[in-house]
Structure 1
């Protein structure tokens, strides 16, 4: 490999495994993933991305892209890795209610700027995920039932394809690629910037209520009945959390099971109070932080950890949540269960998340999906087999109500096999995605992901 030649044509740093700085450059949020690319390019602009892609193609190597490293799933051994953290541009058009965001920007940075002008985006629960990676994977967030997926509101993307060209893609230019990029994640190129619509949401009614674990059954059974009648302005989930005795955990929540109700309501606060009242009637919570909040505080709803952790994660989509399904969750993740899980979350979908967007895209599995299940266990490599097996045991217990499909942004290393990766997209969309892949990446250069192989 002509690494010296690569260094000569890029502005950002270039690392090989023997270099000081290689480990820091390839560090991920999920500490169970240890990237091992042959070369790493710390891109500072689109020209660096183009050079890195051309270098990879010339050497017959795959391309891996690393943002924050939340969703790293497939081994990058032998790849050319492009890190995007230096691509930090943000441009907000208040009048048009649009934003242009480069690939290294994390949600915390964009939320801070949007809150200053009274606008909001369809962010996710974690403030440390990159905006671009989250959005091109679909983008399921706390305003989703009202406004749909983040990908539904993308208007343009700047992407470097496998031929090393920088393309501006929208509904008029490369409409097929535009369709595929919004929901196909990293399969079609390196997205260096994205443009999307914003919403006038300066504040909302919401937050989290932490109930003691002994009320977990009552909370979950109320939740399954309650979601049948809530308006689309209400997005909600319940997470059964077993938090460690760590300093970053509030003292009342340490080393105990809690049931965490998370809500965001885009309506009148008084009506929000009435909607939440049945939960407050269950019993005294440990912490009740549901109130009217500024958009700047949106991350407090889920209170996701911001520091890197060793995580094993699985997900599933359900078409229904009857009492038997809740009982299956409680048996394996509720009070008294010998569970290694730090989180078992059930998130209510439906509403705009179940309808096709105004401009169609590749985000799959909308129609019959009403709930997303997300499981997280924490531990080191020796724990992997046991933890993944336990998560699979819970997913198997929910099989009678499963759609059999998956949500791409909640698919991780255990879901990277081809027969599982295909479940991220609808059976109708998948052949179209493969044909677009054949056109733009026939050699499958972008395969360090939940891969869509090219047709033929």
Structure 2
């Protein structure tokens, strides 16, 4: 006999009870019940409930969600219930897995779907395909694929969520130039759309929605699972080499010439960094300005070493951590922070990196910068990242040669000077900018509609707005880097 699940643990309550306490924003959508009958496997939280703060906690703490309702979903059925509940009350829906990329404020009028409990990952070795649920992390996929000599197009750390990263394009620092964007290799997507339906979307079932989901992030529905290709990679030659900040100009000038001749199997970046004098950082780097070279070469280690030699010899390194590694150690390339941070981020794309751009970058972000931003990275694109996939997608800006990405870390008292410094760097490098942006690198300061337009060419943006009008005309999924319906 069916019954409504009573979720009394950890302050959780039912959607029926919530319906009595959350003011409706308008009349219920046609055909929608006032509250949802049936079982809900996940927990529901309201502000003040025990467990609420933990469920809305984000990796980047620059903006903490404050929704009126949190649905801690455990399966697609829970997600459907949450979307239907929001739709009947004309409430916006947001989704949270890891919270690496905050955007607009999520307030009391919102329903937040937390997918952290949806961690299922399966690997089909014969087909070289993985399937990941909405809350799965890249490290889970790597750990399951590595024993078979396979690897995914994951991010810079295993702690990043698979789905959000892939829907935003997915730029792998290890495999990107060789294989392209993660979104280029998606086979199917399970998504709950604004009408509460669970759809399996492929290139043949709904080409237009498949196009928009891959590159449009959470604008067109709430994804519950994704299926994607794996690649025959078991090892790589890579890691990072740290040079003194005084060597930044020499390194970058050598680097800008070097990237013109490297094969697609070589992915790389250079980051100008300012390390605080604090515990948790390697003693040789503490309190210092450094220039970090990050390398990932897919091929023979001796060939990789020969390719890297011109960069390795620009100066005496502080730390040389480039070597042959199992792919499971891909996190050593960027060595991203493991715990939560407060990070103010900005991004851009460069069409080229000539001598003038390098000089400007060192002036604004090097050891003598007027206000030191924690990290400014230039990442090499091109290769397979510049080529269109077999199934067209909304992932754009494929003509860019480099990403520009900045992170300034600090408390609220540093927000204003960090943002001013990042704005100054954006302006200084504008002569070499494409004018575009990579959606996965956009932040709270790139969330207004005009900024989001810069992630797409005009014709792609118009196409996405038309798709939005078809699948989400009320813009239920708007608490993101939003694409409004046409």
Question: TM-score category by the smaller chain?
Answer: over 0.9
Match of residue 257, structure 1, among 278, 289, 296: 289
Q: How many residues align?
A: 454
Matched, 1:150 2:193: no
Matched, 1:39 2:69: yes
Could you say what secondary structure the match of 2:374 adopts?
Answer: strand
Matched, 1:339 2:371: yes
Q: Is the 8 A contact 2:172 2:181 kept in 1?
A: yes
Q: Which residue of 1 aligns with 2:346?
A: 314
Match of residue 26, structure 1, among 56, 60, 75: 56
Q: Which residue of 2 aligns with 1:133?
A: 164
**C-alpha deviations, 1:395-447, integer Å up to 9, x for none?**
11000010001000000000001111111112121111111111100000000
**C-alpha deviations, 1:246-279, integer Å up to 9, x for none?**
3321111111111110011112211111111112
- Higher mean C-alpha deviation, range 79-88 or range 374-383: 374-383
When normalised by structure 1's length, the TM-score is 0.98
Q: Which residue of 2 aligns with 1:449?
A: 480
Q: Is the 8 A contact 1:91 1:100 kept in 2?
A: yes
Q: Which runs of 5+ in 1 are unaligned?
A: none
C-alpha separation in 2, matches of 1:115 and 1:408: 28
Matched, 1:183 2:215: yes
Q: Quote how far apart the aligned CAs of 1:339 are.
A: 2.5
Matched, 1:122 2:153: yes
C-alpha separation in 2, matches of 1:413 and 1:283: 37
C-alpha separation in 1, matches of 2:36 and 2:304: 56
Q: Quote how far apart the aligned CAs of 1:306 are.
A: 1.2
Match of residue 194, structure 2, among 141, 157, 162: 162
Q: CA, structure 1 residues 342+6, in 2 after alignment: closer, same or farther (shift >3 Å)? A: farther
Structure 1 segments, 4+ long, off by >6 Å, are none
Q: Which residue of 2 aligns with 1:10?
A: 40
C-alpha separation in 2, matches of 1:288 and 1:379: 28
Larger radius of gyration between Structure 1 and Structure 2 = 2
Could you say what secondary structure the match of 1:431 adopts?
Answer: helix
C-alpha separation in 1, matches of 2:253 and 2:37: 58
Pairwise CA RMSD: 1.2
C-alpha separation in 2, matches of 1:140 and 1:198: 15
Match of residue 243, structure 1, among 268, 275, 288: 275
Could you say what secondary structure the match of 2:375 adopts?
Answer: strand
Matched, 1:58 2:106: no
Q: Is the 8 A contact 1:134 1:409 kept in 2?
A: yes
Q: Is the 8 A contact 2:273 2:291 kept in 1?
A: yes
When normalised by structure 2's length, the TM-score is 0.92
What is the correspondence of 1:79-90 to structure 2 with a 5 Å cutoff? 79-90=110-121
Q: Which runs of 5+ in 2 are unaligned?
A: 1-14, 20-34
**C-alpha deviations, 1:357-398, integer Å up to 9, x for none?**
11111101112x000000000112232222111101001100
